[in-house]
Amino acid sequence: MSRHCAEVLLCNRQGGRISCMERLHILVTGRVQGVGFRNAAQSQAAALGLVGWVRNAERFDQVEMEVEGPPEKLEAFLEWLKVGPALAKVMDVHAFAIEPIEEQTFRILR
């Protein structure tokens, strides 16, 4: 897995607490199309409280996504992506930080 770590954080103060959000653009390569990867990624993101989107990339062996949330939740999501759903065979996960945009949901794009 490769990750370019020029972190871009968006932090807000809520009461006496500061919460920070990070957004990652991610490409997952391997047997990741036609195996339920996008639905599984959406479920995993929801379980972690993450927002963003996922879609099949133009290449037949890639899924592309942007995911936003607290850095520790993103790390857990990246760990899950290394394996993916049962029928997937992940070969590489490439992630880099981009500007957070404060989305509200996680969507599957067609």
pLDDT, one tens digit per residue, over 36-54 is 999 999 999 999 999 999 9
- 77, 79, 30, 35 alpha-carbon torsion, rounded to 10°: -50
Q: What local confidence, expressed as pLDDT, does residue 102 receive?
A: 86
- Partners of residue 30 on adjacent β-strands: 90
CATH of 2-10+20-108, one of 3.40.109.10, 3.30.70.100, 3.30.720.210, 3.30.450.40: 3.30.70.100
Catalytic residues: 38, 56
- The band of 20, judged by pLDDT with boundaries at 50, 70 and 90, is confident
Q: What local confidence, expressed as pLDDT, does residue 110 receive?
A: 84
pTM for the model: 0.86
| Domain boundary assignment for the chain | 2-10+20-108
Q: How far is CA 33 from CA 15, 18, 76, 90, in A?
A: 43, 38, 22, 11
DSSP assignment of 69-83 = E-HHHHHHHHHHHTT
